Chains A and B, each alone.
Chain A
């Protein structure tokens, strides 16, 4: 290879600068990280990684220079105790989240970890969760050494909190096994029943009929006593506690059908009902299984908590700053939080002064200043300068953790829709069994030769398929259509609850408004904007960012020379731009630092802004105020029309916000809301209280973002999380609007209404169909064959009606 041509890095394939090549080595590296990874891979004989991974995939695996966090803290006793589990004597297991996995070769490489780190027993990748489960012998290695090795291979490991995942796994297994057995039983019993029905026309020999009936009975009993046992257990519990429960009629139907079928099998007379019974068990279990899956997704609160706090923290040990995984922090540790970083745990400021944005926790959009002694909450954003913080509480003990814990008990109520199917299904079976018995007895008296035929016909036409399909089908169609419109719905009951209007509460910051500061107006000297833009590039304060953005959209990209920037003062920033002393800040800040009166245009504009609840930011050049900018959090453009459309549909719309009551009242007036429904200055707990009032009808809907709304989202009958803002409330809420803005709300409400209409129509059609056909069969007007032809018709009509469900795109 000629030394003058560009060469790819041996590890990641990126072009290598000549200076980084080494003489006498047959490998070239773009950075130190790649050299380490390559050395590790070669040392353990894993070179076939390079054969498996294509060039593009290796490029994606580029390690990059830069400080790596220290993983030593993963061996702190408290962390080991809380987040790893003992699997066998001397063996522990933990899960590491892995960033930087790209291809099959990455899986291969990571699962070869036992060869790289002696003492690792097993390493398994979970691709979808992007995590690695490792099991290791505690006397030979430790989690810190394992994480170090994974990091050496070029991936970014981070510890994952031990959650209820294992427990869920076992419940999942049990449910899946039940479902599998119920499905096999139902399928086989259908085939047997088909043979029996056909046999009636072919004059099947009596012993064969008995064989088929016996087989049907055995399979049916397996289904009833195996997977079907949950209904009996539930019914027994309901009976003992004297609380009506939907399992009761189901169990009654199953028991009556089972006993009657068993007696008839033994005596060789009458009908066996086992095909219908096993089909019912399967369909009911299927509905519950799907429901359980959907609810699980909404329940992983621990993961919400860790998604809003940072993964790494800077721990100060003996004056040295170490980057450590945030999960390993303990109360009493000192951490450093730089400007722009998120506070990793609750704590007290020891050193430094800065402004902090607590928006994620309180909804307050204005930053507040902190100094030594002030308390900070995990999830807050440090805006201005580095702080040293003593950790007071971590993880679930933090203020945010407690807010989320509030959510948990209220996240319980299970879906009503599936229960509706259970209830109707149970009574349906009882009715059908009674009708069949009455038909049989009645015809035995009138004309014994056709009695069995008529009873059989009745059982066939009464197959509960259509009934069982009615709800789940309509709901899954609706959820699918909604997902295409970027509205994610996690449970079917949401649609039912949104179909009838009630009270709808909206969060302000980030929901009705865009959630970030922006310049709404500029009055005074327009030329000063270029200097202000240049000066404010030096600050990360939200107001500064708003001014920079405003300047950039007006073409001020130039970089005048900025010197002597001082942003340590409260309320503003000062600096020298192209030789002029420029001040930008609020009224108290500017007042003491300028001479001369305010220009009339600036004064008038500032008065207007105060009346509109917009913060005026003054600009002074060389000691003279020259302009004023109105900075605020603007309403989303579609907010007013969405609110109007919701009110048209009968919803009572209101605002719940942590922001100042004056701001909230102003926004409420702009949207045409009644003042009694606009509440400001609320803490998360107050929001929950308002949501729980349920004073305006059956459903209380909360629309919000962020963790401070998390509890209210879960306490509402329906919580709807909006995009933008902190992407954390979405797991606590059953609905997530994926497209920016609020237009999805109207779409959702309309879609829910048409879904519920479809479900009702499905029930009506299938019940009417069954009532008519049972009546006809009971009076002997249809035979078994006609019944077998008619039976699928009801299911088909239900399928057709569900697919015809419309989900209109609302225009904002």
Chain B
């Protein structure tokens, strides 16, 4: 059971990182337009 002392903080930190990633993606406007990028990806540049 003592493995929880490492596993739990690790899990929370990883979860926290995911939240930070989400916040950054929202702030950079990635979630504003969900329709154009799936079409844009079809073009090769």
Contact = CB atoms under 8 A, between A and B. Distances in A.
A48 interface: yes
A126 B35 CA distance: 8
Nearest to B19: A184
Given A181-B23, A204-B1, A127 B32 contact: no
B36 A125 contact: yes
A167 interface: no
B4 A208 contact: yes
B11 to A, nearest CB: 8
Interface string B22-43: 1100110101110110011011
B40 to A, nearest CB: 5
A368 interface: no
Contacts of A675: none
Contact of B44 (A48, A103, A204, A215): A48
Interface stretch (A104-112, A371-379, A760-768): A104-112
Contact of B1 (A126, A184, A205, A215): A205
A212 interface: yes
A211 interface: yes
Contacts of A205: 1-2
A215 B29 CA distance: 32
A211 B4 contact: yes
Contacts of A48: 44
A105 B27 contact: no
Interface stretch (A172-180, A277-285, A474-482, A741-749): A172-180
Contacts of B26: 173, 176-177, 180
Contacts of B39: 103-104, 107, 127
Nearest to B3: A208
A207 B5 CA distance: 9
Contacts of B23: 177, 180-181
A124 B40 CA distance: 10
B44 to A, nearest CB: 7
B43 A184 contact: no
Contact of B15 (A124, A128, A176, A188): A188
Interface residues of B, number: 28
A782 B35 CA distance: 51
A170 B9 CA distance: 33
A181 B23 CA distance: 8
A708 to B, nearest CB: 34
Nearest to B11: A188
B1 A127 contact: no
A104 B2 contact: no
Given A125-B36, A208-B4, A211-B8, A104 B19 contact: no
A605 interface: no
Given A181-B23, A219-B12, A176 B31 contact: yes
Contacts of B12: 188, 215, 218-219
B8 A212 contact: yes
A669 B40 CA distance: 59
Interface in A81-113: 103-105, 107-108, 111
A273 B27 CA distance: 32
A413 interface: no
A408 to B, nearest CB: 25
A608 to B, nearest CB: 57
A215 B12 CA distance: 8
Interface string A178-218: 00110010001000100000000000110110011001001
A385 to B, nearest CB: 44
A103 B22 CA distance: 29
B30 to A, nearest CB: 11
B5 A181 contact: no
Chain A interface category by residue count: 20 to 34
B15 A126 contact: no
A177 B33 contact: no
A24 interface: no
A211 B33 contact: no
A169 interface: yes
A192 to B, nearest CB: 8
Given A127-B35, A180-B26, A104 B42 contact: yes
Nearest to A170: B27
A169 B8 CA distance: 36
Contact of A211 (B5, B15, B32, B40): B5
Contacts of B31: 176
A173 B24 CA distance: 10
A52 interface: yes
Contact of B36 (A103, A127, A207): A127
Given A128-B35, A180-B23, A181-B23, A105 B43 contact: yes
Contacts of A172: 32
Contacts of A126: 33, 35-36
A127 B29 CA distance: 15
A254 to B, nearest CB: 20
A127 B15 contact: no
A105 B18 CA distance: 34
Given A126-B36, A127-B33, A208 B19 contact: no
Contacts of A208: 1-2, 4-5
Nearest to B42: A104
Contacts of B43: 52, 104-105, 107-108
Interface string A464-490: 000000000000000000000000000
Most B Cβ at <10 Å: residue of A48, A104, A128, A212: A104
B5 to A, nearest CB: 6
Nearest to A199: B1
Nearest to A124: B36
Contacts of A128: 33, 35-36
Contacts of A184: 15-16, 18-19, 22
Contact of A173 (B1, B27, B42): B27
A201 B3 CA distance: 19
Contacts of B15: 184, 188
Contacts of B22: 177, 180, 184
Interface string A234-271: 00000000000000000000000000000000000000
A180 B17 CA distance: 12
Interface string A550-585: 000000000000000000000000000000000000
A192 B8 CA distance: 9
Contacts of B32: 169, 172
A173 B30 CA distance: 10
B4 to A, nearest CB: 6
A105 B40 CA distance: 8
A105 B43 CA distance: 6
Of the candidates B1, B9, B35, B43, the one having the most CB atoms from chain A within 10 angstroms of its own CB is B43
A72 B25 CA distance: 38
Contacts of B35: 126-128
Contacts of A177: 22-23, 26-27
Give the 6 A-B residue pairs with the shortest CB-CB distance, closest first: A108-B43, A104-B42, A127-B36, A128-B35, A127-B35, A104-B39
Given A128-B33, A180-B22, A184-B22, 10 more contacts: A107-B39, A125-B40, A126-B36, A169-B32, A188-B12, A205-B2, A208-B5, A211-B5, A211-B8, A212-B4
Interface of A: 48, 52, 103-105, 107-108, 111, 124-128, 169, 172-173, 176-177, 180-181, 184, 188, 192, 204-205, 207-208, 211-212, 215, 218-219
Interface of B: 1-2, 4-5, 8-9, 11-12, 15-16, 18-19, 22-23, 26-27, 29, 31-33, 35-36, 39-40, 42-45
18 contacts: A52-B42, A52-B43, A52-B44, A104-B40, A107-B36, A111-B40, A125-B36, A169-B29, A177-B22, A181-B23, A184-B18, A184-B22, A208-B1, A211-B4, A212-B4, A215-B8, A215-B12, A219-B12
